[in-house]
């Protein structure tokens, strides 16, 4: 049975059959007895069919090789070769090897696709923006972080960037080897862009990394102010404390040991002034202790609704004699925040207090640059929600006189204030607290249109 399926045996009987057909046709052609034409014609046809079948049988291996190389060329690894056992063990082994090679190609391609998917997932989840351009400035590679940092929804070509990114466009066009650029496309966003031009398989590719260093610059600025404040407080306290002690001693001497006369009275009055101003300076310096010693937040899940309700209750209790409507909205109502409830409450109360003072509701006087609003219904609104990416935020908005544009960035600088009795650390501390929560605080305002502070988590 195995012999009848072997390639030599099948080839031998096919050749023998073809020879028999040819011999029969030749015999009838030579004899030409009777009706020889029909048998001769049938034998010729049979010989042709046998020859064609023999050719296909012998050429089958070549066809299989051609199919194999064609599948490799076009990456069509789904093809399978039959066992071919009817032609013998050698053909079966060849077909098995073909299938194993194609399976190896399939596995290699699957691993390559998995690695590309893995790398693409990593690129998309990086907080650093990545962009790659070809020689025609078409975008080859991009990630979501790049779109967020540039403030665009999609990017297919370098020239699709808005006008505010003109510095970046010029940087990419002039990039030849390596380079770095810092530019500010808008307030609150300072972009650091590093670029390199490489040759990838004969193609010129410009690769960019983009980072927003504005939060880091803010943290460095705050750290510098804190260090400066700590040094100044230490030096001032070291100098003022002995003065206060000596003044108190001198007051005792004047009061108990010196005779009562106009000179001693003048001296007592002078010492009283020095004592009052010294204690005032001590209290002033102590007021900045909080700025240099903000504790780390104790993070936990917080109900946004409970937090805002608590802030509204405290604000109303503190300002119940003022005709200012304070209201809160939370959407969705089960919104959860991840933060320190005490610190966030302090931030929100400070913003509400600032809004109230901006609308002329402070008994200690309003800002020198602010006038009481003339709106019949003064309002402070707190809103909590989540953006399209699921990031929580809290807004504090008022309908007061607003903030002049030139002061929008300065109000967060430590010790900057426009209030006669202000210390200038409230908003700076609020920003520190939000940054320690991994977020930030930003402000928008139009003169006469109120102010809007947003806590971003």
Instruction: State the average pLDDT over residues 124-145.
Output: 89
Does the CA dihedral 348-349-350-354 come out positive or negative? positive
Whether the predicted pLDDT of 126 surpasses 60: yes
Residue 52 shares a structural domain with residue 195: no
Residue 441 has pLDDT above 60, yes or no: yes
112 domain residue, yes or no: no
Are 185 and 241 in the same domain? no
Higher pLDDT, residue 229 or 309: 309
In the predicted model, is pLDDT for residue 283 greater than 80?
A: no
In a domain, 120, yes or no: no
Among 78, 107, 136, the domain boundary falls at 107
Q: Smallest Cα–Cα separation from 348: which of 339, 361, 359? A: 339
Q: CA torsion 211→215→221→225, rounded to 10°?
A: -160
> In sequence order, which residues have a C-beta less than 8 Å from that of residue 32 and are 6 or more positions away?
none
Helix (H, G, I), strand (E, B) or coil at 441: strand
Closest CA to 427 of 437, 416, 412: 412
Structure tokens at 268: 């007592």
Helix, strand, coil content of the chain in percent (nearest 5): 55, 20, 25
**DSSP per-residue letters across 278-320:** HHHHHHHHHTTHHHH-PPPP--EEEEHHHHHHHHHHHHHHHTT
What pLDDT score was predicted for residue 423? 64
| Interatomic CA distance for residues 233 and 284, integer angstroms | 10
User: What is the mean pLDDT of the segment spanning 209-234?
Assistant: 74
Confidence of residue 385 (pLDDT cuts 50, 70, 90): very high
Give the per-residue pLDDT at 87.
58
User: Which residue among 248, 267, 292 closes a domain?
Assistant: 292
For the residues 194-198, what does the mean pLDDT come to? 90
pLDDT one-digit tens code per residue, 24-47: 777 777 777 667 777 778 878 888
Give the pLDDT of residue 30. Answer: 76
The pLDDT score that the predictor gives to residue 1 is 47
Residue 380, pLDDT above cutoff 60? yes
Looking at the fold, whether 452 and 306 belong to one and the same domain comes out as: yes
422 or 418, higher pLDDT: 418
Give yes or no for residue 372 having a pLDDT over 60: no
Tell me if 132 is assigned to some domain: yes
pLDDT at residue 367 in the model:
32
In this prediction, residue 329 carries a pLDDT of 92
Tokens (6 digits) for 94: 């060849």
Query: Which range (85-99, 327-341, 443-457) has the least confidence?
Result: 85-99
- Work out how many domains the chain is built from and give that number: 4
The residue-averaged pLDDT of 332-338 equals: 90
CATH of the domain at 180: 3.30.450.20
- Domain span at 159: 127-212
- Return the structure tokens found at 396: 């504090």
Amino acid 315: pLDDT:
83
Residues 407 and 280 in one domain: no
| 283 and 310 fall within a common domain | no
Both 80 and 170 in one domain: the answer is no
| 68-72, 253-257, 263-267, 384-388: least confidently modelled range | 68-72
Residue 234 token pair: 């230490």
Contact 335, 392 (CB under 8 A): yes
| Structure confidence at residue 376 as a pLDDT band (50, 70, 90) | low
pLDDT at 212 over 90: no
48-77: per-residue pLDDT in tens? 887 877 777 667 766 777 777 777 777 776
pLDDT higher than 60, residue 120: yes
Q: What is the mean pLDDT of the chain?
A: 79
Contact 189, 405 (CB under 8 A): no
Among 292, 312, 333, residue at a domain's last position: 292
What confidence category does residue 91 fall into, taking pLDDT thresholds of 50, 70 and 90? low
Measure the CA–CA gap between 385 and 381, rounded to whole angstroms: 13
The answer to the question of residue 389 being in a domain is yes
Which pLDDT belongs to residue 7? 60
pLDDT tops 90 at residue 5: no
Q: What is the mean pLDDT of residues 68-95?
A: 68
Tell whether the model's pLDDT for residue 3 goes beyond 70. no
């Amino acid at each position: 049975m195995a012999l009848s399926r072997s390639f030599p045996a099948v080839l031998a009987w096919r050749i023998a059959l073809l020879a028999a057909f040819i011999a029969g046709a030749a015999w009838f052609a030579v004899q030409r007895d009777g009706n020889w034409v029909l048998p001769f014609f049938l034998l010729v046809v049979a010989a042709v069919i046998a020859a064609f079948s023999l050719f296909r049988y012998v050429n089958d291996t070549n066809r299989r090789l051609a199919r194999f190389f064609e599948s490799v060329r076009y990456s069509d690894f789904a093809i399978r070769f039959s066992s071919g056992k009817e032609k013998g063990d050698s053909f079966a082994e060849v077909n098995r090897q073909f299938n194993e090679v194609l399976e190896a190609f399939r596995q290699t391609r699957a691993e390559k696709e998995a690695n590309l998917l893995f790398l693409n997932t990593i690129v998309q989840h990086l907080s650093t923006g990545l962009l790659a351009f070809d020689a025609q400035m078409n975008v080859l590679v991009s990630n979501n972080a790049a779109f967020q940092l540039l403030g665009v929804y999609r990017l297919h070509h370098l020239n699709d960037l808005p006008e505010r990114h003109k510095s970046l466009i010029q940087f990419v066009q002039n990039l030849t080897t390596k380079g770095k650029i810092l530019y500010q496309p808008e307030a609150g966003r300072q972009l650091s862009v590093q670029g390199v031009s490489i040759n990838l398989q004969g193609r010129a590719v410009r690769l960019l990394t983009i980072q927003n260093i504005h939060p880091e610059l803010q943290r460095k600025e705050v750290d510098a102010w804190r260090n400066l404040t700590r040094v100044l407080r230490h030096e001032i306290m070291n100098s003022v404390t002995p003065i206060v002690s000596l003044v108190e001693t001198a007051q005792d001497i004047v009061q108990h040991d010196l005779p009562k006369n106009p000179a001693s009275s003048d001296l007592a009055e002078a010492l009283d002034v020095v004592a009052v101003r010294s204690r005032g300076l001590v209290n002033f310096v102590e007021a900045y202790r909080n700025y240099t010693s903000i504790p780390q937040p104790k993070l936990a899940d917080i109900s946004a609704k409970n937090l805002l309700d608590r802030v509204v209750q405290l604000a109303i209790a503190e300002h119940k004699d003022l005709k200012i409507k304070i209201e809160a909205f939370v959407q969705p109502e089960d919104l959860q925040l991840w933060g320190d409830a005490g610190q966030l409450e302090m931030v929100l109360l400070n913003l509400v207090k600032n809004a109230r003072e901006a609308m002329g509701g402070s008994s200690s006087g309003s800002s020198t640059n602010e006038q009481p609003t003339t709106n019949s219904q003064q309002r402070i609104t707190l809103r909590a929600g989540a953006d399209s990416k699921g990031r929580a935020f809290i807004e504090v908005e008022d309908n007061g006189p607003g903030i002049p544009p030139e002061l929008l960035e300065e109000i967060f600088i430590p010790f900057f204030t426009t209030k006669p009795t202000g210390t200038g650390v409230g908003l700076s501390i609020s920003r520190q607290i939000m940054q320690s929560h991994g977020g930030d605080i930003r402000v928008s305002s139009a003169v006469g249109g109120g102010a809007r502070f947003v806590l971003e988590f």
